Amino acid sequence: MQPTLVNTKANQIEKKDFLTINEYTTDEILYLLNEAVTMKKLQKEGKPHRYLEGKVLGMIFEKSSTRTRVSFEVGMLQLGGNALFLSSNDIQLGRGETTHDTAKVLSRYVDGLMIRTFSHSTIEEFATNATVPVINGLTNEHHPCQVLADLLTILEHKGTLKGLKMCFIGDGSNNMSHSLIEGAVKVGMHISVASPEGFEPDTTVWEKAKVTASITGSNIEFSTDPVKMIKEADVVITDVWSSMGQENEAKDRLLKFANYQVNKQLTSYARNNYIFLHCLPAHRGEEVTEEIIDGPHSVVFDEAENRLHAQKAILKALMETK
């Protein structure tokens, strides 16, 4: 289903970087979603949309990736530009050169930087010192590109965002939870989060979201009870229980998250027409059963495709000559 455009007062993005959802206004998020809708329509119709002719995106990967790398590379090519893959092991950053120096040097060569790293402070330091736009491809604390694609997918399948209930089941302290919380309240969605004790969302993220929710009319709630949180949900989302860098905690997490698996029994409490999202890769049989991820409610592959369209919207907004 082709999503419809959403009302927004924004006709461009004034921001230099795309580091978190929270840094963008509601109108700016809706503007990016409209741009993504347009990008998808142009591609499906086979119409050229080479807004970044001759531009180059440098992509630094300290964390490995499938969807992030391919979607950004393909996106830049379709926009008329080029993308350079830069593994941290292959550049001087991995041999001790400072983030400060790397950001300043790369800014002389490329027109934008996408970075997939561990600490969010690393990407903030890049943005402070770079003179070109910096895009957060993922940090331990935030995953804004993924969540923009998630919002696009929800809009595509539900026809609206405002007033819908989104439920995240899993590790509330991870990057997906944080960016989903920020994204939901920005567009007027209600969000509930269910996590075991000790895996609550970051306090700063939560408090800022509550302020935004008071403006947009969103409800925001947390509980250790997944049944309570998933009731009447229009959108159900989960993520892996152990992310990159947490491998040594995997066995312990399996025990703590055992009651948070998204399965047929748990989703019976959601709305009959709920949709299921997962950013992938999924650990089938752990956080979600195959019956759900491959079932009629799942839109995970539409969601994965929408990374391409959402990121093209971000790239155009930040890198197109204005």
Q: Which two tokens stand for residue 80?
A: 């008329």
Burial class, 161, CB count within 10 angstroms (exposed 0-12 / middle 13-18 / buried 19+): buried
Residue 122 in marked binding region: no
Residue 280 in marked binding region: yes
Catalytic residue among 234, 239, 278, 311: 239
Active site annotation includes 143: yes
Q: Check whether the bond before 281 is cis (ω within 30° of 0).
A: yes
Catalytic residue among 78, 111, 120, 146: 146
Residue 144 in marked binding region: yes
The residue among 221, 204, 164 whose CA lies nearest residue 187 is 164
Residue 67 in marked binding region: yes
Residue 84 in marked binding region: no
Catalytic residue among 78, 150, 234, 279: 279
Residue 279 in marked binding region: yes
Active site annotation includes 167: no
Residue 319 in marked binding region: no
Contacts by 30-35 with C-beta closer than 8 Å and gap 24+? 30/6, 30/187, 31/317, 32/148, 32/310, 32/313, 32/314, 32/317, 33/3, 33/6, 33/148, 33/151, 33/152, 33/155, 33/310, 33/313, 34/5, 34/6, 34/8, 35/312, 35/313, 35/316, 35/317
Residue 167 in marked binding region: no
Residue 114 in marked binding region: no
Q: Which two tokens stand for residue 135?
A: 């895009």
Burial class, 2, CB count within 10 angstroms (exposed 0-12 / middle 13-18 / buried 19+): exposed
Residue 289 in marked binding region: no
Element housing 151 (H / E) = helix 144-158
Residue 20 in marked binding region: no
132: left (phi over 0), alpha (psi -120 to 50) or beta: beta
Residue 50 in marked binding region: no
Catalytic residue among 120, 142, 143, 178: 143
Catalytic residue among 142, 178, 307, 309: 307
Residue 68 in marked binding region: yes
**Do residues 288 and 278 make contact, with C-beta atoms less than 8 angstroms apart?**
yes
Active site annotation includes 265: no
**Do residues 152 and 187 make contact, with C-beta atoms less than 8 angstroms apart?**
no
Contacts of 241 (CB under 8 A, 6+ apart): 170, 171, 250, 253, 254, 257, 260, 283, 286, 287
Residue 202 in marked binding region: no
Catalytic residue among 111, 116, 142, 311: 116
Active site annotation includes 116: yes
Residue numbers in the known binding site are 65-68, 92, 116, 143-146, 175, 239, 243-244, 279-280, 307
Residue numbers in the known binding site for carbamoyl phosphate are 65-68, 92, 116, 143-146, 279-280, 307
Residue numbers in the known binding site for L-ornithine are 175, 239, 243-244
Residue positions annotated with a catalytic role: 116, 143, 146, 239, 279, 307
